[in-house]
Structure 1
Amino acid sequence: MSHGEVAGHTVAVVGLGYVGLPTALALSDAGATVIGVDTSPDRLRAIARGAVDLLPLHHAQLACAVAGDGFRLTTEPSAVGAADAVVICVPTPVDARREPDLTALSAACARVVEYAVPGQLIVLTSTSYVGTTRDLLVEPLRARGLVADEDVYVAFAPERIDPGNERHTPERTPRLVGGVGPRSSRAAAALLAPTASVVRTVADPETAEMAKLWENTYRAVNIALANELADACHALGLAPVPVIEAAATKPYGFQPFYPGPGVGGHCIPCDPHYLLWQLDKVRQQAPVVATALAANTGRPARITERALDLLARTDVSGRGARVLLVGVAYKEGVADVRESPALEIIDRLTAAGADVAYCDPLVPSVGVGAGTLHHVPDPHTRPWDLVVLHTVHPVHDLTWLCAGDAPPVLDPRQRGALATGTPAGVTAEAEVTA
């Protein structure tokens, strides 16, 4: 691919999840012919009919792309051979032991290498350990006789997607690019320029890889700190949020993080473990990071303990207690339940004998334990012994919790989610118990 404009070029996007699909749409909007490659036929069918979790702006882009001739969807990996550029956007989760699961990434990179052609640009965006770009792309390409930055161009450009947040769309967010050489960096920067507010080039792929791990490890550590200091506030008889807001008046050296039920989604619960895993191999300790991740992992259990304690203080046994979770997605405004703390909270409450239900208009059903729960559309019509505010979406109507006969409410986020006032069942002590 030349270093010129994106328009008129063909770009293959491998992996059409919450990162790949917006990337494909942005490239299509910039005039590129896009080949969307995904291993899941169901995902491709959902994209074709618009049944995917996107911001309204991106839904409009999708409708235009699908209606046009320059947006093709396929499960065939060989299709990347017809592209001027390939962007790899596959998931990089962790397994049950919190170790990297590179299955999808290794397979995708192997296929891209297999069908790579001279002159092609290959950009990896999936978060992984430092050295991934060289291990999975540069060296396998060399084994095929294709030298990076000479025969083909290779770069790492970490995704920066904040799902459900209209203020931080990819088009408004700066992007990093680390090429294996100057030509690779220039080609990748030119390709991604229409998809970001600005593109900054760094020295090499390893710098970009570490930058991404640093970003999300920073967030994970500060989330753990916010939860710990919220508990400290509770022990001292203080509400955490006013304290955080007071501290946030300092114009330098402070960024507000708020307490919550734990961390969820594809990034924060996973990415820092890639760093710890790699550091362990070189016998480098990171005790602050390790402690923070352990604290985040244990947060849902702590919230469950708070819920059972609150039930006991209202003379309700955990066994048979009717508990409603408001929201099960991992964050507001999205339908994603990956790594959501709600799933563990439901499992733990169920194990304690509680009758647990949830209301989340964005998540019609969710698998928990050995079964499936379904969204309760009218929770105000049922009696509850406790309501846990896990994820409050903009579409949630919680005014019923402000009535005089409302059930007790546990708010791990402590954000004052009810615009009409404090729920009748939430005491100052209950609000800060999580």
Structure 2
Amino acid sequence: MAYNTKEKTHSRVSAAHGPVVQASIVETEWMNDLLGGQVLPLQTDKQFTYDVAIVGLGYVGLPTALAVNASGHKVLGLDVSERRLAVIESLRADLLESDKARLRSALDDPNFVITSDLSLISQAAAVVVCVPTPVDSHLVPELSILRSACASVVENAVAGQLLVLTSTTYVGSTRDMLSGPLAERGLVAGEDIFVAFSPERINPGVETHTHEEVPRVVGGVTETCGRRAEDFLKTLTKEVHVVPTADAAEMTKLVENTFRAVNIALANEFADICRVLNIEVMDVVTAADTKPYGFMAFTPGPGVGGHCIPCDPHYLLWQLRKSRLASPVIESAMAGIAARPQQVIERSRRILSDRDHGLCSARVLIVGVAYKPDVEDLRESPALEIISALTVENADVAYMDHWCRTAPDGNGGVLTTLEDPVGWRPDLVIVHTRHDGVDLSWLKDVPVVLDTTYRLPSAANVFRL
């Protein structure tokens, strides 16, 4: 059924009534362009209703769908969560301001359709899979969401389509979850259908790294698949770098985020070293960053959160363990990153102990709980582990973060952000995340501040992690 109200005139599709936007000559011409100027014999009479289907409308899929729609394509957004669709429709999705503007425009555009009906995948010329790939509590890849999404794509795929997987995962996943199962259905990659991997490159909370500006890497299951995917991506971004295989593209994403993880772990070590030697680590990092070659600045912190760095290297380590190949540098870096929140607890304990106060019954205030500045994303945030550990120590814990109005309390309940931190009278303030525009001048009036960001001005009551 078409979803139309006075407030929202975009299309919402139900399984019972099917799509509301019909195929057009323009779309057929775009499909011809996508296929390199020719329509495959199996597709001569096929007209697709949508140019692109985006499977998964989370932190990657929704901005991707909005960027594709802004480029002029007819977009079908798919997500199995009706709750997520409702969040999008009500303009409550966590997005950059530029993407919020795009969403407002898209919701009034009949060429932008969102639905939970995965059977409509067959109606799109290109299908892009953008679903989460987390790790579980044992740091083992949790592939159920990706497997389910890919299974739905395979089930509903038709000859002539381009299928692009973007979710970060292990090397070989595109073959295992898409091209292999498609072949079992009689759809051969590079002949009947086109399959490729192009890792997402989204930096949440950063306006400068837009879809249009950030180069994309892509590799096809076959050379022909790679060319088809390259043609498609060129309609979305200024630069596309093609690698020989989907495996190489999958490995590229793992290298990118493992590189960051190793260097963040090293920056944390430098911070510890500088504290012992009574040196401000950021003075050193800033100075080293003046070198125009051979150095890239990474900054220390309380740990690493978000969807990439805490998770992606474990996909590589998990795969390598099957081959009994040791990766000591990566393993050490990930162990160091995982231990960082506990270092915050131990540092807090020592600072309070030096003032004849224990963690038990101490009033500890966390400033900023989002995993990075200017987002409302709590996924894998070190703050959650810090709050949980403080709760175990029987500390009285509170937090303030205008981006995240509620957060887990570490004891099965929920905390609500403080509005008056000074009035709460904390014994210790842990600065975890510094959002832009937040006034922290009140910190001068609290007894002790533990700065895990290494960005606060030096003061008698300010200690570094």
TM-score normalised over the length of structure 1: 0.95
Letter in 1 for 2:231: A
Q: Is the 8 A contact 1:401 1:424 kept in 2?
A: no
Give the superposition deviation at 1:423.
Answer: 5.3
Instruction: Compare relative contact order (CA 8 Å, sep 6+) and give the higher one, 1 or 2.
Output: 1
The 3-state SS of whatever aligns with 1:388 is: strand
Give the superposition deviation at 1:137.
Answer: 0.3
Q: Please list, as runs of the form range in 1=range in 2, the aligned pairs for 1:251-266 lying within 5 A after superposition.
A: 251-266=292-307
Q: Please list, as runs of the form range in 1=range in 2, the aligned pairs for 1:260-409 lying within 5 A after superposition.
A: 260-369=301-410, 370-402=412-444, 405-409=445-449
Give the superposition deviation at 1:399.
Answer: 1.5
Of residues 443, 447, 450, the one that matches 1:410 is 450
Letter in 2 for 1:43: R
Count of aligned residue pairs for this structure pair: 423
- Measured in 2, the distance between the counterparts of 1:378 and 1:173 equals 40
Partner of 2:170: 129
Partner of 1:425: 461
Partner of 2:11: none
The 3-state SS of whatever aligns with 2:32 is: coil
- Measured in 2, the distance between the counterparts of 1:197 and 1:304 equals 46
Give the superposition deviation at 1:388.
Answer: 0.7
The 3-state SS of whatever aligns with 1:288 is: helix
Q: Please list, as runs of the form range in 1=range in 2, the aligned pairs for 1:97-116 lying within 5 A after superposition.
A: 97-116=138-157
The 3-state SS of whatever aligns with 2:208 is: helix
Letter in 2 for 1:11: V
Letter in 2 for 1:377: E
Partner of 1:19: 60
The 3-state SS of whatever aligns with 2:52 is: strand
Partner of 1:203: 244
- Measured in 2, the distance between the counterparts of 1:389 and 1:27 equals 38
Pair 1:424–1:53, CA change in 2 (3 A): farther
The 3-state SS of whatever aligns with 1:36 is: strand
The 3-state SS of whatever aligns with 1:50 is: coil
Give the superposition deviation at 1:8.
Answer: 8.9
Q: Deviations over 1:72-128 (max 9, x none)?
A: 111111111111110000000001110111000000000000000010010000000
Q: Deviations over 1:402-428 (max 9, x none)?
A: 3xx333111112023xxxx555521xx
Letter in 1 for 2:423: T
Q: Is the 8 A contact 1:406 1:424 kept in 2?
A: no
- Measured in 1, the distance between the counterparts of 2:103 and 2:285 equals 40
Q: Is the 8 A contact 2:50 2:123 kept in 1?
A: no
Give the superposition deviation at 1:316.
Answer: 2.1
TM-score normalised over the length of structure 2: 0.88
Give the superposition deviation at 1:169.
Answer: 2.2
The 3-state SS of whatever aligns with 1:189 is: helix
Q: Please list, as runs of the form range in 1=range in 2, the aligned pairs for 1:175-190 lying within 5 A after superposition.
A: 175-190=216-231
- Measured in 1, the distance between the counterparts of 2:420 and 2:156 equals 52
Q: Is the 8 A contact 1:3 1:186 kept in 2?
A: no
1:241 aligns with 2:271: no
CA RMSD of aligned residues (A): 1.6
1:29 aligns with 2:70: yes
Pair 1:206–1:5, CA change in 2 (3 A): closer
Q: Deviations over 1:309-340 (max 9, x none)?
A: 11112222211111110111100011100000
Partner of 2:113: 72
The 3-state SS of whatever aligns with 1:381 is: coil
- Measured in 1, the distance between the counterparts of 2:55 and 2:422 equals 44
The 3-state SS of whatever aligns with 1:122 is: strand
Q: Is the 8 A contact 1:330 1:339 kept in 2?
A: yes
Partner of 2:19: none
Pair 1:250–1:342, CA change in 2 (3 A): same
Of residues 181, 186, 196, the one that matches 1:155 is 196
1:2 aligns with 2:42: no
Q: Deviations over 1:289-323 (max 9, x none)?
A: 00110010010001111112111122222111111
- Measured in 2, the distance between the counterparts of 1:11 and 1:139 equals 22
1:141 aligns with 2:141: no
Q: Deviations over 1:169-218 (max 9, x none)?
A: 22221110101223322221222224333111111100100010000000
Pair 1:229–1:72, CA change in 2 (3 A): same
The 3-state SS of whatever aligns with 1:200 is: strand
- Measured in 1, the distance between the counterparts of 2:99 and 2:236 equals 12
- Measured in 2, the distance between the counterparts of 1:338 and 1:67 equals 31
The 3-state SS of whatever aligns with 2:399 is: strand
The 3-state SS of whatever aligns with 2:252 is: helix
Of residues 217, 220, 228, the one that matches 2:269 is 228
- Measured in 1, the distance between the counterparts of 2:34 and 2:138 equals 45
Pair 1:386–1:29, CA change in 2 (3 A): same
